[in-house]
Each structure stands twice: as structure tokens, then as C-alpha cells.
Amino acid sequence: MYQKPIVERVLPVQFTEDEILRFKSALAFHTAEFLRIEKDKKEETKILNLNIKDCKDSIADLSEKIESGFEEKTVPCRVKFDHARDMVFIIRTDTDEVVEEREMTEEERQTELQLHD
């Protein structure tokens, strides 16, 4: 007896209702997972960007300190009145360097006069 050969072809096949339900369930799962991962990525990106900014700020600050060799700080200073010359001197307490000198104000001169009364 002669048997007809069977050949295969790639052809459209309709999905069953069960298959479609499984696809829908998988789609819902992967959509929720995708949205969760996207949210996590955004949060992590914010954290990483803040860390990058902190590093850049530190690099800029340290580079400026190295380049300039100094930074501005509040330093205690004493005031020295030289009544003989009517001058006021502002002197750093850490280095004894005169950082400002100026003529006495009228009020400062009057203080000297009041002390001698």
C-alpha cells in the first residue's frame, strides 16, 4: 500500500482560550515586574547621581585648596590701639601678623581722653 508522505509547513495556528489566559497572566506579571524595575532604576539613578555630585564637589574643593594653597577661615585677632600715632592695628593671634591698620575714629580717640580724666 502506498502511503502519502507527510510534509510540514509553518502555518498560522489559533491559540486556545487556555493559552490566551496563560499569555495574559504572563503579560500582567512581566508588566508589573517591568514597572517595578523601572522604579528601582530611577531611585538607584538618583542615588548614584547624588554620589557622583558629592565626588565632583569634593574633587573641585580639594583641587581649589591645592591650587590656591589656602582657604578662608575665621581667625581670632586682637585689636591694638597706638594712641601716640592715632592708629589701630588688627593682629592675628596665630601668627602675630598685622592684617589691618587704620586711623583711629573720633570715638576711639575720645575713649583715650576719657581714660585720662
Residues 46 and 66 in one domain: yes
Nearest Cα residue to 76 out of 94, 62, 61, 59: 94
Residue 24 lies in a domain: yes
Residue 9 lies in a domain: no
pLDDT tens digits, residue range 59-69? Answer: 999 999 999 99
pLDDT band, residue 116 (cuts 50/70/90): low
Residues 36 and 61 in one domain: yes
Give me the domain span that covers residue 67. Answer: 16-71
Residues 46 and 24 in one domain: yes
**What's the rounded Cα separation, in Å, for the pair 71 and 65?**
6
pTM: 0.55
Which pLDDT score, from 0 to 100, does residue 56 have? 98
pLDDT tens digits, residue range 72-115? Answer: 999 999 999 999 999 999 999 999 999 999 999 998 888 655 55
115: region left, alpha or beta (phi > 0 left; psi from -120 to 50 alpha): alpha
Residues 67 and 22 in one domain: yes
Structural domains counted in the chain: 2
